[in-house]
């Protein structure tokens, strides 16, 4: 299964995503601080990063850019409680594979993560 980094400024949201994805067999590392998440990714390769767009010090888009510098192969899913066409477009242009509106429900989270990981596995086979 996958190593997944979750970064959300709301601890309860990050913990909930960890619990849902851990039940699917993934190893999930949750963070509420941008610097801690970026530092973790430098030391531990992750397959997928799930990032809230609205964070404390940086935007999720800025964190995505930093994580891409660390490892080009990380897959990304962006979350927002404040959906706009502009943020969705920006996230997708920077390489996010999925975009979801919070609160994300359990089934949507599981399906989007499974879809990203399936595409990732297929890309690594070719």
Confidence band, pLDDT 50/70/90 cuts, at residue 92: confident
- pLDDT over 90 (residue 95): no
Q: Which residue is associated with the tokens 């990981």?
A: 117
Q: Is 116 exposed, middle or buried (0-12, 13-18, 19+ CB in 10 A)?
A: buried
What rounded mean pLDDT belongs to the chain?
A: 93
* Residue pLDDT, tens place only, 34-71: 999 999 999 999 999 999 999 999 999 899 999 999 99
From CA 67, how far away is CA 44, in angstroms rounded? Answer: 12
> Residue 41 maps to which CATH number?
3.40.50.2300
How many domains does one find in the chain? 1
Confidence band, pLDDT 50/70/90 cuts, at residue 126: low
Alpha-carbon dihedral 118, 123, 3, 77, rounded to 10 degrees:
-70
The pTM of the full predicted model, rounded to 2 decimals, is 0.95
Domain region containing 118: 3-125
Phi, psi (degrees; rounded to nearest 5) at 3: -95, 120
């Amino acid at each position: 299964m996958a190593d997944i980094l979750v970064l959300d400024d709301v601890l309860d949201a990050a913990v909930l995503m960890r619990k849902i994805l851990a039940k699917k067999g993934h190893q999930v590392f949750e963070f509420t601080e941008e610097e801690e998440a970026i530092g973790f990714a430098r030391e531990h390769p992750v397959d997928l990063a799930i990032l809230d767009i609205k964070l404390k010090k940086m935007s999720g888009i800025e964190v995505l850019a930093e994580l891409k510098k660390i490892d080009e192969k990380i897959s990304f899913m962006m979350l927002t409680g404040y959906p706009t066409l502009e943020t969705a477009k920006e996230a997708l242009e920077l390489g996010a594979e999925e975009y979801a509106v919070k609160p994300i429900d359990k089934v949507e989270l599981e399906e989007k993560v499974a879809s990203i990981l399936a595409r990732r596995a297929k890309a690594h086979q070719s």
